[in-house]
Amino acid sequence: MNKYAAVIFDLDGVICHTDKYHYLAWKALADRLGIEFNETINDRLRGVSRAESLEIILEKYDGFLTAEEKANFAAEKNDLYRAMLQNMSTSDLSAEVRQTLELLRQKGFLLAIGSSSKNTPLILQQIGLGGFFDKISDGNNITRSKPDPEVFLKAAEYLGVEPGRCLVVEDAAAGVDAALAGGMDVAAIGSAVEYGKATYNLDQFADLLKVVGD
């Protein structure tokens, strides 16, 4: 029997590259407030909720924002981000990712999304994967953001698969920690590789096929 029955994918930075839009939207607002913001700080936002991302950005802010101002700031970032998402299309899903997902399904694995993003349905729709995954667990059904394991445990529960038989795919340190805390193996890709704590490190998405076996 295969060790894994299901694969749970992070979305931003794994299935598609919305991470660049998150960066640009936060950067535009940070510039306006005169807050230092760069790729290094941006890496800390991977996998982290919108509200918590804002708190990380405000570490470099000298002024004070009320709760209402913070909520407005986060809403404005989201409006900007969603406007950028309108430019995404099926061409933002690479052939490698699409083919790998199809092969995993053919091999019989259940496939789910485990993302902190409340924009998950829109993004999947834009890239032509609306309705593709067996289950979706995202920012709309969780109360605690990664590195808490809630989003992945919910995905496993929705799939009806025990955590020990799920493999998570992540590009974020917070996501690697979340998967491990949930008792799941995790394959790191992109910037999560250098974190060094994942069960497997992938050079490219299609390497997943070697990791899961038949």
Catalytic center residues: 10, 12
Integer Cα distance of 58 and 61 in angstroms: 5
Q: What are phi and psi of 90, to 5 degrees?
A: -60, -20
Taking the CA atoms of 166, 172, 178 and 181 in sequence, report the sign of the dihedral they define: positive
Q: Which does 154 bind (CB under 5 to 8 A by kind): Mg ion, ligand BG6, none?
A: none
Task: Compare residues 53 and 126 and give the one whose CB is closer to ligand BG6.
Answer: 53
Backbone angles phi, psi at 193, to 5 degrees: -60, -45
Considering the rule CB under 6 A, would residue 48 count as an interface residue with ligand BG6?
Answer: yes
Q: Smallest gap, in angstroms, from Cβ of residue 123 to ligand BG6? A: 8
Q: Which is nearer to Mg ion, 3 or 144 (CB)?
A: 144
Q: Restricting to residues 41-60, which ones interact with Mg ion according to CB under 5 A?
A: none
**Residue 172 binding Mg ion, by CB under 5 A:** yes
Neighbouring residues of 187: CB distance < 8 A, sequence distance ≥ 6: 167, 168, 169, 170, 198, 199, 200, 201, 202, 207, 208, 211
6, 7, 8, 13: which one binds Mg ion (CB under 5 A): 13
Q: Quick one: 43 or 185, whose CB is closer to Mg ion? A: 43
Site for ligand BG6 in 173-212 (CB under 6 A): none
135 binds ligand BG6 (CB under 6 A): no
10 binds Mg ion (CB under 5 A): yes
User: Pick from 4, 112, 115, 190: which binds ligand BG6 (CB under 6 A)?
Assistant: 115
Cα–Cα dist 70/88, whole Å: 27
49 lies in the site for ligand BG6, by CB under 6 A: yes
Question: Would you count residue 126 as binding ligand BG6 (CB under 6 A)?
Answer: no
12 contributes a contact to Mg ion by CB under 5 A: yes
Residue burial 49-86, b: 16+ Cβ < 10 Å; e: rest = bbebbbeebbeeeeeeeeeeeeeebbeebeebbeeebe
List 6, 16, 45, 173, residue binding ligand BG6 (CB under 6 A): 45
Residues that bind ligand BG6 (CB under 6 A): 11-12, 22, 45-50, 53, 78, 115-119, 139, 172
